């Protein structure tokens, strides 16, 4: 499999959803993007998320692969 592959941590997910142009540019040509189940839980569990943030995150999750460990 060729191309860039990225696994995003919770901080990278937050930066991406906040519109980080540097991160968007980096991921633009990615062959594959994943997030760990741990990062998914951390993000969803954050008490400061608005309903709009949650919806944006759900849309994001439809475009990446959630990785399970174990």
- SS3 assignment for 6-59: EEECHHHHHHHHCCCHHHHHHHCCCCEEEEEHHHHHHHHHCCCCCHHHHHHHHH
Average pLDDT for residues 38-50, to the nearest whole number?
89
Q: What is the mean pLDDT of the chain?
A: 91
* Tally of domains within the chain: 1
Specify the pLDDT at position 38. Answer: 93
Range of the domain at 20: 5-67
Q: pLDDT band at residue 20, thresholds of 50, 70 and 90?
A: very high
Specify the pLDDT at position 1. Answer: 56
CATH code at position 14: 3.40.50.1010
Q: Which residue has the higher pLDDT, 47 or 11?
A: 11
Q: pLDDT band at residue 49, thresholds of 50, 70 and 90?
A: confident
């Amino acid at each position: 499999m060729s191309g860039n592959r990225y696994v995003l941590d919770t901080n990278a997910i937050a930066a991406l959803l906040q519109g980080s142009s540097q991160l968007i540019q980096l991921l633009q040509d990615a062959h594959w993007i994943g997030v760990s189940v741990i990062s998914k839980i951390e993000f969803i569990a954050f008490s400061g998320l608005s309903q709009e943030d949650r919806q944006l995150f759900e849309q994001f999750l439809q475009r990446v692969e959630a990785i399970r460990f174990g």
